[in-house]
Amino acid sequence: MIKYVAGLLFGIALGAFTAATLLYFNPLAARNPLSPLSVSNNKILSLNYSIVPNDSIVYTNNGESRVRPHPEKVRELWEAPIRHSEVLVTVVKDSRNDPAGIGIKFSSDSERTRIINGEALVDSAWHIHLVERGSLFVEQTENYWNFLRKIVLPAYWSTTNHWKGTWNANMTVGPRALGTAAVSGGTGEFAGLESEAVEAIHASAYSVLQGPVAMDGSLTIDIAGNIELTASDVAER
Amino acid sequence: MLKTVILGFILGIVGTVAAAYYVPVVDQHRESSVIAVAPNGGNTESFRINIPTDRIMVGAPKQAEPLPPGLDWPADEFFDGVRVELFKLRNSADAVIGVASRMVADSDAIEDSIEWVLHLPARGTFYVAMPVQTADESRRVGTLRAGTREFSPMQGTVSERWVAITDNDDIDAPDGYIELETSFVGTLSDDMTETELQEGAQ
C-alpha cells in the first residue's frame, strides 16, 4: 500500500514539474518585439528614463521587495490596498538625452495576471510634464512575463546572483487593440490629444540584491494632429 | 505500480494547470467605496490627504528641508517652474486606498495649471487638470481628462480645497487635509464595447 502511495506522490511531483516546465518554456508566450508604432505615419515623440531606482528622484514600494526605495527615508507603501504598488518619479529625457520634463509612473500588479497564458501583468499610468510644453497621461497594461523569464530568474539561478546581457523588449500589451497604451493630452500643446504609445525596456544588468543595475526605459508616443515636434523629440526609427 | 505513477503524473499536470488558471496570483485588497448619489445624476466621492503625514514627496527647487530627506531635485533652472508632490490617498473613512500626484506648472510658454493623478490599485486611475484660479474662496475645480478601468467611462469634475484642523490639540494630529471631491457621471455611447461596459461596471 505504501509503495502505491509513494508511486502516486512521485507521479504527481513529476507531473507538476513537467507542467511547470511547459509553462516556463511555453513558446506561445513569446511576444512579437516589433512595435505597432513602427509602421505609423504620424510623428513620434520619444522619451527615455533610467529604471535604476538610485538614478530616480524618488522610487517607493512596500519596503519588503529586494528593490529598495530611494532615497532611503522615503515613505513606503505598506498599507494593504497599496502594498502591490510602486511609484517612480524621474527625469524624462528626449532622444538627444537632454532633460525634457518630469515623469511619475504608478504601477500595480494586475489581478488579470494568468501564468498559464504567459502573463505577469502590471497596470501602470504615467503622469508626464514636459517643461514649457505641457502634460500627458499614459495608461497601459504591461506584461513582465518575459522579463521575469529572461532576466530575473536567470539572475536567481546564477551563482553570482547577477544577470548580464542585452535584452530589449516592448512591455506594453494594452489596453488598445494593437497592444498599445492610451495617451491623453492634458495641458499646453498636448491639450485634447488622444493617441497611442509603447513602452520598451533596454536591459543590460540585473542583480538579485539590488534589482535593476543597468536598465533604461523608453516611451514612444504617437503624436497625431498638428503638434510641432522639436528635432530632439524625434527618435531615429 | 506503473499505472499508479502514470495516474499521479496526469493528476500532477492537471492540478498544476488548474492551479495556474484558477488560483489568483494577485489579489488586491479592497476597501469599501464610500460613494454618494448626486441629486441630478451621477455620483460623488470624497478623498482626503492628511498633511503632513500622507505627504511622500515634495519636489521643488531650492528647498531647505527636502521631503523625503536626501531628495535630489534636478538643479537645472529648466525645472524651476515645476513643483511635484506625491501623497498617500485616503477615502472619507480615513483608510489609505491609493497614491496621488499633484503637479503644478508655472511657465511663460503655456498656461499655468494644476494636475492631479489619483491611482487606486483595485479600481483604476484618473487624471484631472484644473486652473490655478479658485472657483470660490477656497475651492479649485478641474475636469476629468482621462480614466482607466472603473473610471474609463466617466466624465465630470473634481474639486480640491485645503481644510485646516484647528480644534485638535493632539501633537500627532495633522495640520489639516486636502479634500478632493469627485462628481462623475457615466457616459454611454454607441462606440462603447461590451467589454468596456463590463470593465466600467466592475
Residue A227: pLDDT band by 50, 70, 90 thresholds? low
Q: Which of residues A224 and A113 earns the better pLDDT score?
A: A113
Give me the pLDDT at residue B39, please: 81
Position A214 pLDDT exceeds 80: yes
Contacts of B20 in chain A (CB under 8 A): 19, 23, 114-116
Cβ contact (<8 Å) for B56 and A109? no
Give me the pLDDT at residue B186, please: 84
Give me the pLDDT at residue A52, please: 95
Give me the pLDDT at residue A237, please: 44
Domains, in order of start, for chain A: 31-223 (2.40.480)
Of B16, B84, B117, the CB nearest to A102: B84
Domains, in order of start, for chain B: 31-201 (2.40.480)
Give me the pLDDT at residue B66, please: 87
Taking residues B41-49, what's their average pLDDT?
90
Of B21, B70, B122, the CB nearest to A73: B70
pLDDT in tens, A194-203: 999 999 999 9
Give me the pLDDT at residue A118, please: 86
What span, in angstroms and rounded, lies between the C-alpha atoms of A108 and A128?
18
Cβ contact (<8 Å) for B26 and A84? yes
Cβ contact (<8 Å) for B26 and A80? no
pLDDT in tens, B108-121: 878 888 999 999 99
pLDDT in tens, A143-187: 999 999 999 999 999 999 999 999 999 999 989 888 899 999 999
Give me the pLDDT at residue A217, please: 95
pLDDT in tens, B68-98: 998 989 988 899 889 999 999 999 999 999 9
The CB density around residue B173, as the number of other CB atoms within 10 Å, is 12
CA atoms within 13 A on the CB side of A180: 21
Q: What is the CA radius of gyration of chain A?
A: 20
- Write out the H or E segment, with its range, that includes residue A181: strand A181-188
The ipTM, to two decimals, is 0.88
The 10 Å CB-count burial string (b at 16+, else e) for B9-32 is: beebbeebbeebeeeeebebeebe
Taking residues B51-58, what's their average pLDDT?
93
Query: What are the beta bridge partners of residue A207?
Result: A162, A211
Residues 6+ apart with CB under 8 A from B24: A111, A113
Select the residue from A26, A55, A57, A90 to test the B interface by mutation, using most B Cβ atoms within 10 A.
A57
User: pTM score, two decimals?
Assistant: 0.89
**Nearest Cα residue in chain B from A138:** B146
Sign, Cα dihedral of B84, A127, A69, B124? positive
The CB density around residue B168, as the number of other CB atoms within 10 Å, is 10
Of B4, B88, B110, the CB nearest to A4: B4
Q: Which of residues B167 and B9 earns the better pLDDT score?
A: B9
pLDDT in tens, A45-84: 999 999 999 999 999 999 998 899 999 999 999 999 999 9
Backbone angles phi, psi at A203, to 5 degrees: -110, 140
pLDDT in tens, B142-195: 999 999 998 988 899 999 999 988 777 777 778 899 999 999 988 766 555 666
Rounded mean pLDDT of chain B? 87
Taking residues B8-22, what's their average pLDDT?
90
Q: What do you get for the CA distance between the two ends of chain B, in Å?
A: 50
Residue B156 near residue B130, CB atoms below 8 Å: no
Residue A102 near residue A91, CB atoms below 8 Å: yes
Taking residues B4-27, what's their average pLDDT?
89
pLDDT in tens, A87-138: 999 999 998 999 999 999 999 999 999 888 888 999 999 999 999 999 999 9
Sign, Cα dihedral of B107, B108, B114, B118? negative
Residue B55 near residue B162, CB atoms below 8 Å: no
Give me the pLDDT at residue A84, please: 94
3-state class (DSSP) for residue A3: helix
Residue B144 near residue B127, CB atoms below 8 Å: yes
| Lowest pLDDT segment from B55-69, B125-139, B164-178 | B164-178
Query: What are the beta bridge partners of residue B159?
Result: B141, B181
Per the listing, cell 475645480 goes with B141
DSSP state of A180: -
Give me the pLDDT at residue A41, please: 78
Residue A31: pLDDT band by 50, 70, 90 thresholds? low
Highest mean pLDDT range out of B130-134, B168-172, B194-198? Answer: B130-134
Cβ contact (<8 Å) for A19 and B117? no
State whether residue B60 sits within 8 Å of chain A by CB: no
Residue B188 near residue B153, CB atoms below 8 Å: yes
B172: left (phi over 0), alpha (psi -120 to 50) or beta: alpha
Cβ contact (<8 Å) for B119 and A175? no
Contacts of A133 in chain B (CB under 8 A): 109-110
What span, in angstroms and rounded, lies between the C-alpha atoms of B108 and B105?
10
What span, in angstroms and rounded, lies between the C-alpha atoms of A165 and A152?
12
Position B202 pLDDT exceeds 60: no
Contacts of A132 in chain B (CB under 8 A): 81, 107-110
Residues 6+ apart with CB under 8 A from A109: A84, A85, A121, A122, A123, B25, B26, B28, B121
Secondary structure in 3-state letters for chain B: CHHHHHHHHHHHHHHHHHHHHHCCCCCCCCCCCCEEECCCCCEEEEEEEEECCCEEEEECCCCCCCECCCCCCCCCHHHCCEEEEEEEEEECCCCEEEEEEEEEECCCCCCCEEEEEEEECCCEEEEEEECCCCCCCCEEEEEEEEECHHHCCEEEEEEEEEEECCCCCCCCCCCEEEEEEEEEEECCCCCCCHHHHHHHHC
Cβ contact (<8 Å) for A129 and B27? no
Give me the pLDDT at residue A230, please: 63
Return the amino acid letter for A165: G
